[in-house]
Structure 1
Amino acid sequence: MQAISVIISVYNRLDYLKKALISIQHQSVLPSEVIITDDGSQEPIVDVVQELVPQFDFRIKLVIQEDRGFRLARCKNNGIRVAENDFLVFWDQDVVGTRRYLETYYENWKPGMFVVSYPVRLSEAQTQRLTEADIRQGDYSHILNKEQLKKIRKQFKKDRFYFYLRKFILRNDTRPKLRGGIFAISRAALLKVNGFDERYQGWGNEDDDLGRRLYASGVVGFNPFYDQFPLHLYHLPYHTNGQRVNQKYYLKRQQEIKAGHYRAEYGLDKTFGEDDIKVLEF
């Protein structure tokens, strides 16, 4: 079995990080390592991770960059750079998964593809009801309602339609879209486009941009998640609706990507920012 690296980008909310790690520990297949890549949390992340480590059967690496605002693209690239394996799964800190969630990525990935899921968004009340025992079992059927399950299956069908539509008819379509904290991909595919574009600073667009560049490079998306899925834990948003500070740059890049310029200028091979990162291994 090919070894798996899980990459979790983090900023504060370490109680949610703990839930994500417990969910990973109780998956049907385990990664060989989990990389926690931190965007400069104010909460004591080193102490918290150190306390949690004995619970888990995988190595943990903690990568920390300075808090210089919202730099998610650079944060994720930091995780990619220190990953030891070629198969990478991106897992948001506010996500837990059903029992075979990680296995579904692994079983369905093929070269030239990224595998993407779609989250069940829990309400505040549902999130409060969620227990560590639920997370260990990976069974959330008593928490979810029929409409939430219906939405997951509807998105599965839509994404499957988009996959075959692109394969046989619309060659330039960029759906299924990449969802930045719930997808799996090979290192080779990310190297081809130079990873996340680190010019994206502030909330928004970095995952849409990566998706477009992957499609332009010949890497396509596939969603196999019908009865396995991630659950997004409720929290107040990081941003105000519509507040996408990168929109102007993103629109410019769309045109450049269409013209074949799908590699990021500032990405895995040349970082945007002079501050050093700290890497700790547990």
Structure 2
Amino acid sequence: MKASVIMSTYNAEEWLEKVIWGFSVQTEQDFEIIIADDGSGPATRELIDRLRKQIPMALVHVWQEDNGFQKTQILNKAIVAAKSDYLIFTDGDCIPRNDFVAVHLAHAREGYFLSGGYFKLPMATSLAISKDDILAQRCFDVAWLKQHGLAAKKLGKLTAKGFKAKWLNFITPTKASWNGHNASAFKKELVAVNGFNTKMQYGGEDRELGERLFNKGIKSRQIRYSAICIHLDHARGYVSDEAWENNNTIREYTRKNKVVRTLTGIEEL
């Protein structure tokens, strides 16, 4: 396989199904989907078992018991489970445009990781998107989105294509950091830095991985306007000030001491 797509989820079957349908119609089909499940109940497994019979690519379910927000740990387990040499990361609330995988593969280079973004949707628009809207790609059409509740004015991440997308990738002031909803790298590089730091919960845990890749000498490439996905709205009950403070302390240590390998990562599973 050319790639393994790894997406995180937790008890969000409606959103996860929409995302999987988005990957089912990719222009590049030679990849597997790995669901990194941080302790969801039986409904998620039932959904995956059903969709496994309906989509053309392999659908792998990597699950762990619910022990609070342990996304970094389940992502490390998914990295280990991946059968491809190239890993594309997203979340179970981000529907990819049908060229998402192809774009990541086209821009993949040794010694680099890729950094993409997402386009946030309001709840009303998120709920309005149906399976048919995804399969027909209507959910990426600005006119359709506006008809279904989108009021955003900055639409460049949805409308830019070809040379314009390349130009915007080049001039954007947004740093090409590791964004867990839209990033990719060779598996060997992620293993070399020992994956995600499992001491980190929500808040910058993705960025810390990217900072260790930078410390290893891996550079980043911006594909913010080329690899497109739309983000479905949801609550964030797992956010806490304590976690942010802990994560910021770890990130500061990583940057100051040029840390490459976390001591709590893949090898400690």
Instruction: Decide which of 216, 238, 248 is 1:250's aligned counterpart.
Output: 248
- What SS does the corresponding residue of 2:135 show, helix, strand or coil? helix
Query: How does 1:1-282 map onto structure 2 within 5 Å?
Result: 3-139=2-138, 140-141=140-141, 142-143=144-145, 147-150=153-156, 160-161=170-171, 175-201=175-201, 203-226=202-225, 228-240=227-239, 243=241, 245-271=243-269
Q: Distance in 1 between matches of 2:251 and 2:127?
A: 40
Q: Distance in 2 between matches of 1:148 and 1:97?
A: 19
Give the drift of 1:156: 7.6
1:47-106, Cα deviation, whole Å (9 max, x unpaired) = 221111111111121111111110010010010011011110112100101121111111
Question: Equivalent residue for 1:170?
Answer: none
5+ residue gaps in structure 1? 164-173, 272-282
Q: Distance in 2 between matches of 1:155 and 1:3?
A: 24
* AA matched with 2:155: L
2:157–2:225 CA contact under 8 A, matched in 1: no
2:211–2:254 CA contact under 8 A, matched in 1: no
* AA matched with 1:45: T
1:162–1:176 CA contact under 8 A, matched in 2: no
Task: Tell me how many residue pairs correspond in the alignment.
Answer: 258
Q: Distance in 1 between matches of 2:108 and 2:182?
A: 14
* AA matched with 1:83: A
Q: Distance in 2 between matches of 1:227 and 1:266?
A: 33
- What SS does the corresponding residue of 2:266 show, helix, strand or coil? coil
Give the drift of 1:253: 4.1
* AA matched with 1:44: A
Give the drift of 1:42: 2.5
Give the drift of 1:117: 1.1
Question: Equivalent residue for 1:280?
Answer: none
Q: Distance in 2 between matches of 1:151 and 1:225?
A: 7
Q: 1:221 to 1:244 in 2, by over 3 A?
A: farther
User: CA RMSD of the aligned region, Å?
Assistant: 2.5
Q: Distance in 1 between matches of 2:234 and 2:20?
A: 18
Task: State percent identity of aligned pairs.
Answer: 25
